């Protein structure tokens, strides 16, 4: 029997430099894909996987995210007066239950591992998930739900993985595989951003993790890795042998919304997946190209 997973950490303290000047005054995670900010997709995916508590690791200038998950009294009043019931419902659906959302500041962006470590006091002796909102995944059922199902089979740490072109291994955490059944790959090691020539495989970790609390003992050491940052991959790698480690090839499409091209592709893909927008966007694309 695996322990149930009820808590999610959303590391959102990064600077988002690739989207400047858009991200000067608003957080990257508030950039909209079609009509919802990235962070909303991440929270909805987690909720759909059974997550009940949402912990955001934020930094300076990220206040818009807190406002997004709070009531906007004036706006709601105006919508009520104008009888805009549908719009009101959309606002209410986005809202986590009071007391189930928490914010902690990373203070300095020292790396993803450090961001997760900043949330340590919210996690007790229990598994939890980490979601990077930059990685937007179009999937049904959602990627995290698929991962929770895989976790119930194998336990331990489970990360979402996908095969990348070998020349891109230096952008990701890469699995060193001991066995692979095409859906689940068990790892005997992990390497953060390896050079393509020495990468142990092309199976890369993307922004969804189910982790056991043992990872905090490793993050406590504050060891710096690739790029001088405290890497989550390094801490996870050190728990291999103590807890099983699997990569799940999820069903769905991942869009890297941390890059401009990935963000534009996500907007097109999500618009094409919407009944309301599909035909209009198809015409639009034909006209433009
Ligand atoms: P990125 O590597 O995409 O960095 O972080 P970034 O700062 O957000 O964006 P660029 O590269 O400057 O454009 C991946 C995820 O890890 C979080 C980010 O918020 C993002 O969700 N992160 C990264 C932190 O929370 N803290 C850090 O110290 C580093």
Closest ligand 1 atom, CA of 109?
28
| Residue 282 forms part of a structural domain | yes
Q: Which of 112, 192, 209, 225 to mutate to test the pocket of ligand 1 (most atoms within 8 A of CB)?
A: 112
Spell out which residues line ligand 1, taking CB within 6 angstroms.
11-18, 28, 57, 106, 109-112, 114-115, 132-134, 258
| Residue 45 forms part of a structural domain | yes
CA distance 223 to 151: 28
Question: What percent of the chain is predicted at pLDDT more than 90?
Answer: 89
The pLDDT assigned to 157 comes to: 97
Q: Where residue 94 falls among pLDDT bands split at 50, 70, 90?
A: confident
In the predicted structure, residue 60 carries a pLDDT above the cut 90: no
Question: What percent of the chain is predicted at pLDDT more than 70?
Answer: 100
Number of compact structural domains in the chain: 1
Contact assessment for residue 7 and residue 55, using Cβ atoms and an 8 Å cutoff: yes
Residue range(s) defining the domain that contains residue 57? 7-288
Q: Whose CA is nearest to atom 8 of ligand 1?
A: 14
Contact assessment for residue 27 and residue 62, using Cβ atoms and an 8 Å cutoff: yes
Q: Where residue 92 falls among pLDDT bands split at 50, 70, 90?
A: confident
**Ligand 1 centroid to residue 159 C-alpha, Å:** 18
pLDDT in tens, 177-200: 999 999 999 999 999 999 999 999
In the predicted structure, residue 95 carries a pLDDT above the cut 90: no
| Residue 1 forms part of a structural domain | no
The pLDDT assigned to 7 comes to: 98
Beta strand segments in the chain, E: 7-11, 32-33, 36-37, 53-58, 101-105, 128-131, 135-138, 157-163, 173-180, 184-192, 203-211, 245-249, 253-256
In the predicted structure, residue 71 carries a pLDDT above the cut 90: no
**Ligand 1 centroid to residue 112 C-alpha, Å:** 7
pLDDT in tens, 105-118: 999 999 999 999 99
**Ligand 1 centroid to residue 142 C-alpha, Å:** 23
In the predicted structure, residue 98 carries a pLDDT above the cut 90: no
| Residue 2 forms part of a structural domain | no
**Ligand 1 centroid to residue 275 C-alpha, Å:** 33
In the predicted structure, residue 253 carries a pLDDT above the cut 90: yes
> Residue 77 is part of a domain; what is its CATH number?
3.90.550.10
Mean pLDDT score, 214-224: 94
Omega before residue 141 within 30° of 0, cis: yes
In the predicted structure, residue 169 carries a pLDDT above the cut 90: yes
């Amino acid at each position: 029997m695996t322990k149930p997973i009820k808590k999610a950490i959303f590391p959102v303290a990064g600077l988002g430099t690739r989207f400047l000047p858009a991200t000067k005054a608003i957080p990257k995670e508030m950039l909209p894909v079609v009509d919802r900010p990235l962070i909303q997709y991440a929270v909805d995916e987690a909720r759909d996987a059974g997550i009940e508590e949402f912990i955001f690791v934020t930094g300076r200038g990220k206040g818009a995210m807190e406002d997004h998950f709070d009531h906007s009294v004036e706006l709601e009043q105006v919508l009520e007066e104008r009888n805009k019931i549908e719009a009101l419902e959309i606002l209410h659906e986005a809202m986590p239950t009071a007391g189930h959302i928490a914010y902690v500041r990373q203070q300095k962006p020292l790396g993803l591992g450090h961001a997760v470590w900043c949330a340590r006091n919210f996690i007790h002796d229990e598994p939890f998930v980490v979601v990077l909102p930059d990685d937007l995944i179009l999937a049904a059922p959602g990627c995290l739900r698929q991962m929770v199902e895989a976790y119930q089979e194998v336990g331990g740490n489970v990360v979402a993985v996908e095969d990348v072109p070998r020349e891109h291994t230096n952008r990701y955490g890469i699995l060193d595989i001991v066995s692979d059944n095409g859906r689940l790959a068990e790892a005997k090691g992990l390497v953060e951003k390896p050079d393509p020539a020495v990468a142990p495989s092309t199976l890369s970790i993307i922004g969804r993790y189910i982790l056991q609390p043992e990872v905090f003992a490793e993050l406590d050491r504050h060891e710096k890795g690739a790029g001088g940052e405290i890497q989550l991959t390094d801490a996870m790698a050190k728990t291999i042998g103590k807890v099983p480690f699997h990569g799940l090839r999820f069903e769905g499409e991942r869009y890297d919304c941390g890059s401009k091209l990935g963000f534009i592709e996500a907007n097109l893909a999500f618009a094409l997946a919407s009944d309301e927008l599909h035909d209009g966007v198809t015409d639009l694309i034909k006209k433009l190209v």
